[in-house]
Structure 1
Amino acid sequence: MDWSAIQQQKAKREVERQAGGWAIERKKCAADILYWFDRHVWTYDPRLTRERNPDGTRKSPYVPFRLWPKQREILLQIGELVDAGEEGLIEKSRDTGATYLTAGFALHRWLFVPGFKTTFGSRKVDYVDKKDNPDSIFAKLRIMARRQPPELMPEGFNWAQHDNYMRLVNPATGSVISGEGGEDMGRGGRSSLYVVDEAAFVPNADAVEKALSGNTDCVMWVSSVNGMGNLFARKRHSIMKPHQIMRLHWRDDPRKTEEWAAAKQASFSDPTTWASEYDIDYTASVEGICIPALWVESAKRLAAMEPRLKPSNAGVVGLDVGAGKAKSVAIPRKGPIVLPPKVRGHPDTTGTAWWGLETAVETGCDALNFDAPGVGAGVSSTLMHRDDNETAADAERAKRFAHLAVVPVNTGISPSERLWPDGRTSEEMFGNLKAEIWWLCRTALQRTHEHVLWIEGKENGREHPLTDLLALPSGDRESDQLCLQLSLVKWGRNDKGKIVIERKEALAKRGIASPDHADALMLTFVDPPAAPSVAMFLMKRHRS
């Protein structure tokens, strides 16, 4: 065999070797979207051209997409919702890459899932696709697609033929990414996934939703916030379930610091712009909010900033008892430390009563405060009233909870006899106990915010005793739900000039579901009376 033939064979084997390697790589990418993102997805940031490389040349605006932990979590959650045929919602700060994430998800399905169709919609078609506009959704898709290795692109794909205005076709599998805008959203045929970009700003959103109902089973609503008076806010607060909701806050971006936030916030003449577009505050422009979202954000950061903060030895669990399909929520608080909420979906109040007691014991608390009226009456019956069906086993079981104080709470009654720093009594200030305990929580969170500002050396900062502060949990769905609900409820005054808290009926008119997590936390602020222990109640019942 001559030398040229040997070289040809070697070249052929090298091509086969590389082809086999890319076949393996393709399988890995198809099986794991995070693997694909980490190795083959690029993004575009023109601000990078201001910076220089070590050799003095300017940096390229095209950089590999480095996913943050929260972005990785959201990509997987989108996949779960799409595969289950459920809609989802992403609330976001500006400049957190949410559009790139949804575009990347769509491109991954376009590459590796035959017949998959994603449609992107926005209030204007130019936001979906416009020539030479790198901020349009299809420009982002093309940036990512053009930087894919040729071996991962579809067989037979031709940019001139298969990339058209608001339409990207995979000739090998029939997968499509398409676009729509304005009032035409939802009317362009069926889709596997429909992404509504900046959904809180879409006019006639209810009509768009109606059109989408015949288009797809899975709509992904993506937006920064725009107050409470829109479909996006209603879906977020009263329609969707926690597993359908995703959140991308600027604090999830490891590149952004408190110094960056201060400078950015100072650049806005209207403080509500920062609050809504970056701090994801739905109530930024709503008057009368009892607990500002800014205070809640400070309380979420307190534990990491204040190493002297410690939980108290004693603690109390607030139990909001769910009615019907609503879940019961238990929140333990040990002095200034609020532990992550626990939820129970079973409707039987007997089981809920025992579950509340177990929660108190497991979290090292010595008291359980629960809402007694309404559905809570069933818990009262289990814990405090005689039941002829009780057994000796119940009395024996009660010994485990012998140290607990159990307090039934009716927040509709008169306030306590507390004396406030200005010399007024709670009876003079509040219309009922509910208003008083909400104000106690508000006061603790206000002090927390002032204390955080003091730690940071900022204006209006003030040091407070650690026992007067409140550190809130965050990072899991139930904790995030608690933090969100705290800054949704409004306060006002009754006809006697006393402070009252917005009723659930009024919240519903604003499109806000019952704030069960927040109500559970408020119950921890009820002063414990000289209450007998739960064991005494249960054992008394049995002896009777």
Structure 2
Amino acid sequence: MSVELDAVWDVLHAPRKRLKNWKRPNYNEIFRQRSDRLDTIRAAGQDGWELAFEYYKTHPVEAIEDWVTTYDPRKTSDGEAPYMPFTMFDKQREFVEWIIERYHNKEEGLLEKSRDGGASWVCLSIAWWMWTFHSGTVVLFGSRKEDLVDELGNPDSLFEKLRIIIRMLPDELLPIGYDERKHDNHMRLSNPENGSSIVGEAGNQVGRGGRSSIAFVDEAAFLEKPEKVDSALSENTNTRIWISTPNLPGDWFSKRRFGGRILVFTLSWQEDPRKGPKWYAGKKASLEPEVLAREVDLDYEGTGSNIICPASWVRSSVQLRKFLEKEGLIPEPHAGVAGLDVGGGGTGLSVLVPKWGAVMGHSIEWDDDDTINIAGAAEEAARKLKCDMILYDSVGVGKGVLAAFRRMDFVTKGINVGNKPTRKRWPDGKNSRKKFTNLKGELWWTMRSLLQATHQHWMFISTDGKNGELHKLEDMILLPDDHKLKSQLSQPLYIRLETGKMQVEAKKKLKSRGVDSPDHAEAAILALAPPPRRGGSDRTTGLV
């Protein structure tokens, strides 16, 4: 390899410059690095560009951050340039990798996003990367109205953003033979060199224009007939990505989001380093409460939705944990307990979730219908995770692990969630037997209470004490960034019976609205069960 190609290899693999201050960004160093990279590749001639193209083909994040430029006309009011190198924050880079994983696995995905989080720019940048570096791809963008997809001169439309990306590229990154007058048409962008294209469709016609490699549907919660769009896309693409802020509780988008059958990614304002308490206070002052809840806080609840564990509380728990981990305030795992939801194989997975005090760990799942294998795998995982006890569901399929556990030198406890609640007293003065129909309801409400306190605590910290309130660690729960666990915790609803008692939505009811059994969430709930009575009949320990 020549000296010039060695230099190209070096600049492609060099660490990218990062913003030091996201709220007052200075892009000079990033533009300087871009310029140096371009000069280095050009100095190596055609061989340099071939090496660069080969590199970028498998490095989408680097391709985007090296060459994509975004546009925000609001910057001019502050005397700043409206064009900026697309320097993604951590969650945006994670989202790029998540999208590529869905594409390679031919999976459906859903993005719930706060307002103004850069989601459109990320998706469009991925489309540009595929269009440029992968031959024969077709990327579809759909939305509820045509002018949201493409309106010439309107930088808020998706295709006008694409035009900005392409116009700001070096000539060497444009396809050979590309002529904007020929290859940039209304809702269609063609690559004459490799045959790739980016196409747009709108309204009820989304998905009806032909086959695509991947389809992004923006503002999916606001589609007039989402079922028809879904049906059309399912026939014409392997990967559908639904993108939206929440709209109405119980609508098609919210059912998909909480249905448990689709992978969910969240871009919330709390994980955007450009935003903070001051930004949130401004939005709170300028937006109607229901708009703030939907478009900023990603609150699906609205009125009457009765979600036990609101998604916003779950997100706060994850964010507080990340904050405490960064500060070095999370204790090392020890003396934990593990909840085990026993499945029967196939769609009924067995899931173990560890917990050490207020800290909950990532879930582990097995697809196995042999209860002896399940018990052995659970014990091995619990020991590795420094858990001293397994709390497992002892009814239905869970009965099968009892005999296996009795032969193990490990403490376990069978939990029958259909039993009566405990006599725990709650802040309203009632005990659990007055509030819940069974132990399942009590355990779910315990999780709700822990998450509510955690949400209040995080709001206090993240808004410099302007919102929320502080709580003791033992009154909170710190969740991992576990996509399945996060999603499933917000799936079940509750109902109030005539007696005033709370009842958790039955699995048959969940299934009737398209929600699979929330195995990961139920394992987490079991980890909250009361400890075994010494010598109690529901306790198995030691070798027998």
1:39 matched to 2:66: yes
1:351 aligns with 2:355: no
The residue that corresponds to 1:280 in the other structure is 298
Q: Give the 3 Å change call, closer, same or farther, for CA 516–15 of structure 1 in structure 2.
A: closer
Is the CA contact 1:311–1:335 (under 8 Å) kept in the aligned structure 2? no
Match of 1:390 in 2: none
Determine if the alignment matches structure 1 residue 253 to structure 2 residue 272. Answer: yes
SS in 2 for 1:520: helix
CA pair 314-18 structure 1, distance change in 2 beyond 3 A: closer
Match of 2:30 in 1: none
1:366 and 2:388 correspond? yes
CA distance in 1, matches of 2:441, 2:533: 22
1:399-431 superposed Cα distances (whole Å, 9 cap, x missing partner):
4x3xx2x11111111111323455433222221
Q: Is the 8 A contact 1:310 1:336 kept in 2?
A: no
Q: 1:230 to 1:65 in 2, by over 3 A?
A: same
CA deviation profile, 1:51-88 (whole Å, cap 9, x unmatched) = 2xxxxxx3221111112222223223323332343333
After superposition, the Cα gap between the structure-2 partners of 1:31 and 1:258, relative to the gap in structure 1 and judged at 3 Å, is: same
Residue correspondence of structure 1 range 40-79 to structure 2 within 5 A? 40-51=67-78, 58-79=79-100
Q: Could you tell me how far apart the structure 2 residues matched to 1:451 and 1:253 are?
A: 19
1:416 match: 422
2:144 to 83, 101, 123: 123
Provide the residue aligned with 2:448 in structure 1.
442
Structure 1, residues 512-537: CA drift from partner, whole Å, max 9, x if none? 33222222222122222325599975
SS at match of 2:543: helix
Give the match for residue 291 of structure 1: 309
Task: Specify whether residues 382 and 124 from structure 1 end up closer, same or farther in structure 2 by C-alpha distance, changes over 3 A only.
Answer: same
Task: Indicate whether 1:263 and 2:273 are aligned.
Answer: no
Higher Cα radius of gyration: 1
| Alpha-carbon offset, residue 43 of structure 1 | 0.7
Q: TM-score, normalised by structure 2?
A: 0.83
C-alpha separation in 2, matches of 1:239 and 1:296? 15
Name the CA distance, whole Å, in 2 between partners of 1:310 and 1:28: 41
CA positional deviation for 1:310: 4.6
**Aligned-partner residue type, residue 78 of structure 1:** I
Match of 2:528 among 525, 529, 536: 525
| Paired amino acid for 1:49 | T
Cα distance in 1 for partners of 2:511, 2:132 equals 43
Q: Which amino acid aligns with 1:81?
A: R
Q: What residue in structure 1 maps to residue 349 of structure 2?
A: 327
- For the 8 Å contact 1:283–1:488, the answer to whether it is kept is no
Aligned to 1:63, what secondary structure does the other structure show?
A: strand
Aligned residue identity for 2:87:
R
**Shift in Å at residue 465 of structure 1?**
3.4
Letter in structure 1 aligned against 2:313: W
- The verdict on how the C-alpha distance between 1:178 and 1:321 changes in structure 2, with shifts beyond 3 A counting, is same
The answer to whether 1:28 aligns with 2:55 is yes
Distance (whole Å) between structure 1 residues aligned to residue 215 and residue 460 of structure 2: 46
Give the gaps of 5 or more residues in structure 1. 1-13, 52-57, 385-394
Alignment check: 8 A CA contact 1:28 1:35 kept? no
CA distance, structure 2, for counterparts of residue 446 and residue 69 of structure 1: 26
Whole-Å Cα distance in 1 between the matches of residues 209 and 242 of structure 2?
A: 18
CA distance in 1, matches of 2:464, 2:222: 37
Q: Does 1:340 find its partner at 2:362?
A: yes
| Separation in structure 2 between the aligned mates of residue 255 and residue 15 of structure 1, nearest angstrom | 34
CA distance in structure 2 between the aligned counterparts of 1:480 and 1:275, rounded to whole angstroms: 22
Aligned CA distance change for structure 1 residues 145 and 310 (closer, same or farther; 3 Å): same
State how far apart, in whole Å, the 1-side matches of 2:470 and 2:213 are: 54
Does the aligned pair in 2 maintain the 1:90–1:221 contact within 8 Å? yes
Q: Give the AA of the match of 1:147.
A: M
Shift of residue 17 of structure 1?
A: 5.3
Distance 2:240 2:379 in 1: 40
Q: CA deviation at 1:461?
A: 4.4
Listed one character per residue, the Cα deviations across residues 467-516 of structure 1 (whole Å, up to 9, x for unaligned) are: 22222222xxxx23323333333323223222222222233344433222
SS of 2:387 mapped into structure 1: coil
Distance 1:313 1:264, change over 3 A: same
Structure 1 residues 15 and 457: alpha-carbon distance in aligned structure 2, compared to 1, 3 A threshold: closer
Residue in 2 that maps onto 1:486: 489
C-alpha distance in 2 between matches for 1:175 and 1:454: 49
Map 1:170-189 → 2, pairs under 5 A: 170-189=191-210
SS at match of 2:199: strand
Q: For 1:539, what is the secondary structure of its paired residue?
A: coil
Q: How far 1:285 moved relative to its partner?
A: 4.3
C-alpha distance in 1 between matches for 2:201 and 2:178? 23
In structure 2, do the counterparts of structure 1 residues 332 and 32 end up closer, same or farther at CA, with 3 Å as the change threshold? closer
CA contact (8 A) 1:192 1:218 kept: yes
Correspondence 1:210 to 2:228? no
The answer to whether structure 1 residue 83 and structure 2 residue 104 are counterparts is yes
Change (3 A) 1:276 1:485: farther
Identity of aligned residues (%): 40
Structure 1 residues 308 and 114, CA gap change in structure 2 (3 angstroms): closer
Inter-CA distance 131–302: structure 2 relative to 1 (3 Å threshold) = closer
Q: Look up the equivalent residue of 1:539 and give its one-letter code.
A: L
Say whether 1:429 aligns with 2:435.
yes
The farther-off stretch of 454-463 and 136-145 is 454-463
Once the two structures are TM-superposed, the CA of residue 248 in structure 1 deviates from its matched residue by 2.1
**Structure 1 residue 498 corresponds to structure 2 residue 501:** yes
Deviations 1:222-256 (A, max 9, x none): 222234534433433336454xx433222332222
5+ residue gaps, structure 2, are 1-40
Which has the larger displacement, 335-344 or 531-540? 531-540
1:353-393 deviations in Å (ceiling 9; x for gaps): 12222233222222211111111111224224xxxxxxxxx
Structure-2 separation of matches of 1:189 and 1:292: 38
Does 1:379 pair with 2:385? no
Match of 1:388 in 2: none
Alignment-mate amino acid for residue 454 of structure 2: T
- Cα displacement string for residues 316-371 of structure 1 (whole angstroms, at most 9, x for unaligned residues): 21111123322222122222222222222223222111222223322222221111
Displacement after TM superposition at 1:454 (Å)? 5.0
Q: Which amino acid aligns with 1:111?
A: T
Q: Please report how far the alpha carbon of residue 309 of structure 1 lies from its aligned counterpart in structure 2 after TM superposition.
A: 6.5
1:391 aligns with none
Question: How many Å apart are 1:437 and its aligned residue?
Answer: 1.8
Pairwise mapping of residues 468-479 of structure 1 onto structure 2 (< 5 A)?
468-474=475-481, 479=482
* SS of corresponding position for 1:180: strand
Secondary structure of 1:43 counterpart: strand
Q: Could you tell which deviates more after superposition, 185-194 or 23-32?
A: 23-32
Structure 2 match to 1:191: 212
- State the shift of 1:23 in Å: 3.6
Cα separation, 1, equivalents of 2:42 and 2:427: 81
- 1:144-159 matches, cutoff 5 A: 144-159=165-180
Q: Which moved more, 1:491-500 or 1:200-209?
A: 491-500
TM-superposed CA distance for 1:218, in Å, is 2.5
| Segment drifting more, 15-24 vs 368-377 | 15-24
Provide the alpha-carbon RMSD of the alignment.
2.9
2:85 aligned partner, one-letter code: P
